[in-house]
Amino acid sequence: MASLPEPITTLTGILSRLPGIGPRSAERLALHLVQSDVSEVKQLAQILVEARERIQTCPICGSLTEQTPCSICSDERRDGGLICLVERPTDIISIEKSGTFHGRYHVLGGKISPLNGVGPEDLRISELESRLSQEPIKEIVVALGTDVEGDATSNYLAKKLARPGLRISRIAHGLPAGSGLEFADELTLTHALAGRREME
């Protein structure tokens, strides 16, 4: 026995393909799992398949949901004229937790990133364009990250989506809440100064 039995190496192999799981932690997980109770492992496998089967992508906004369309897209009290454009489904939760946005969402599914082989055609841009022609959308709030790719994608979309009567805005860049000037980098301060607003 100069190596682990085949079922363990096979399991290690498939686990190490998951995000954030390296070869060492995959082996550790595999060894833990083959020594767990059979019933526990079966329960994990069942919950795994069940979760995958119950979760769908909302055909309208692209969020992860059990019902289609999702609860936000089917909520009549939501402002259908206002769309917040986010990168990932989890970004919706972050914004919902703030409790201040009452429009609907659109998940882009990533950012334009030539280095990683992600082009505009890999994102849910055409889906957004068909929404623009079907829904009474008045404003798109671009809420992508503030890194280089987020900036490039936001600028690309601002041009691509521009049409008469549609406002395209981007969430503000500046000092985060509870922080001081001494913790802010130069780019954040540049954005914060450029985006200054008159005090009322």
What is the DSSP code (8-state) at residue 83? Answer: E
- 3 scored as a contact of a second copy (CB under 8 A): yes
Q: What is the x/- site pattern for a second copy, positions 46-85, by CB under 8 A?
A: xxxxxxxxxx-x-----xxxx---xxx-------------
What is the DSSP code (8-state) at residue 118? Answer: B
Region near a second copy per CB under 8 A, out of 17-25, 125-133, 135-143, 153-161 = 17-25
What is the DSSP code (8-state) at residue 69? Answer: S
- 92 scored as a contact of a second copy (CB under 8 A): yes
Q: Say if residue 69 is preceded by a cis peptide, omega within 30 of 0.
A: yes
Tell me the site size for a second copy, rule CB under 8 A: 56
- The residues facing 141 across adjacent strands are 84, 169
Rounded-to-integer distance, Cα 105 and Cα 107, Å: 7
Please give the residue ranges that form the binding site for a second copy (CB under 8 A).
1-8, 10-11, 14, 18-21, 25, 27-36, 38, 41-55, 57, 63-66, 70-72, 89-90, 92-93, 96-97
